């Protein structure tokens, strides 16, 4: 089933300026795969060559960080909301 | 705001005095660690609120916003009808200009980057855009709260 995926401002260029899209998938991994299918280029911004989530990308299902659930295998059910949130970081070093 | 490429360089950016003070008060309160947070704008593009966020690294030379607080802050922005206007952080000792790491990790090209330099008395704020690894500095004007930034 399709769920709402919230797209952060830095990635909206890839979704035709949509801040929310609907995507099918039973897990986050499937949703990311379908996102790349519909919005080419978004996949490599979210995951590295081995398919793992990039270090500075956070993904939430509803109120929970998927790193504290089952990572990319976190299951999705109808009505869930997926949020993609690039980290905000920096440093002098 | 248009596409990053079409944005004029060295824009004049108006920051209400009360918000400037909130940024500095927060950054000074966590010194010697780097402090960080977000500045929200209302639908007319006027800076209206400062949302301090914990530096999860608790470091004097690095910052990363605590993920949960950042998520909650983004949710609050959406609920209030605000947009992300600026990301701020402090340099407790070094000059307030983007470091190579700041530039490499600048994932929000449509947003302003405000850096508070705490190594001087008084502290100073400077404001930049960081797009595709290129920095442009804007003219940051601290203005009375009654002055609005309609752009
Ligand atoms: Zn910095």
Q: Which pLDDT does position A91 carry in this prediction?
A: 85
Q: Would the CB atoms of A91 and B34 count as touching at under 8 Å?
A: yes
pTM for the model = 0.88
Domain boundaries, chain B: 12-143
Give B111: exposed, middle or buried? Use CB within 10 Å, 0-12, 13-18, 19+: buried
B51 closest CA partner among B28, B15, B23: B23
Given CB atoms, is B98 within the 8 Å cutoff of chain A?
Answer: yes
Quote the ipTM score: 0.85
> Can you tell me whether residue A51 is helix, strand or coil?
coil
Q: What is the pLDDT of residues B23-36, one digit of tens each?
A: 999 999 999 999 99
Q: Would the CB atoms of A92 and B99 count as touching at under 8 Å?
A: yes
B4 closest CA partner among A44, A9, A72: A9
- Show the domains of chain A with their CATH numbers: 2-86 (3.10.20.30)
Q: Which pLDDT does position A93 carry in this prediction?
A: 64
Mean pLDDT, residues B89-96: 94
Q: A41 CA distance to ligand 1 centroid (A)?
A: 29
Chosen from B67, B100, B102 to mutate, greatest number of chain A CBs within 10 A = B67
| Chain B nearest-CA residue for A10 | B108
**Residue pair B87/B111 in contact by the 8 Å Cβ criterion:** yes
Domain B12-143 CATH (choose: 1.10.1740.10, 3.30.70.270, 3.30.2000.20, 3.40.140.10): 3.40.140.10
Least Cα separation, residue B48 to chain A (angstroms): 19
Q: What is the pLDDT of residues B7-26, one digit of tens each?
A: 556 789 999 999 999 999 99
What is the Cβ-side half-sphere exposure of residue B62, based on CA atoms within 13 angstroms? 10
What residues form DSSP beta bridges with A84?
Answer: A59
Chain A residues with beta carbon closer than 8 angstroms to that of B102? 90-91
Phi, psi of B112 (to 5 degrees): -80, 150
Mean pLDDT, residues B129-136: 92
Chain A residues with beta carbon closer than 8 angstroms to that of B38? 88
């Amino acid at each position: 089933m399709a769920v709402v995926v919230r797209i952060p401002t830095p990635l909206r260029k890839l979704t035709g300026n949509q801040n929310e899209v609907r995507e099918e998938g039973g897990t986050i991994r499937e949703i990311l795969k379908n996102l790349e299918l519909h919005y080419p280029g978004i996949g490599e911004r979210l995951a590295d060559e081995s398919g793992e989530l990039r270090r500075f990308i956070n993904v939430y299902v509803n109120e929970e960080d998927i790193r504290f659930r089952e990572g990319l295998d976190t299951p999705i059910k109808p009505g869930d909301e997926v949020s993609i949130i690039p980290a905000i970081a920096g440093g002098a070093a | 705001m248009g596409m990053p490429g079409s944005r004029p360089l060295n824009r004049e950016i108006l920051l209400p005095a009360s918000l400037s003070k909130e940024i500095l008060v927060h950054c000074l309160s966590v010194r010697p660690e780097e402090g960080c947070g977000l500045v929200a704008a209302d639908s007319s593009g006027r800076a209206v609120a400062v949302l301090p966020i914990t530096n999860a690294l608790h470091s004097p030379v690095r910052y990363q916003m605590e993920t949960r607080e950042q998520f909650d802050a983004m949710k609050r922005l959406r609920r209030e009808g605000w947009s992300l206007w600026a990301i701020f952080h402090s340099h407790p000792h070094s000059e307030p200009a983007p470091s190579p790491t700041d530039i490499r990790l600048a994932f929000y090209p449509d947003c302003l980057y405000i850096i508070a330099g705490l190594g001087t008395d008084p502290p100073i704020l400077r404001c930049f855009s960081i797009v595709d690894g290129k920095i442009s500095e804007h003219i940051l004007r601290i203005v009375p709260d009654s002055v609005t930034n309609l752009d």
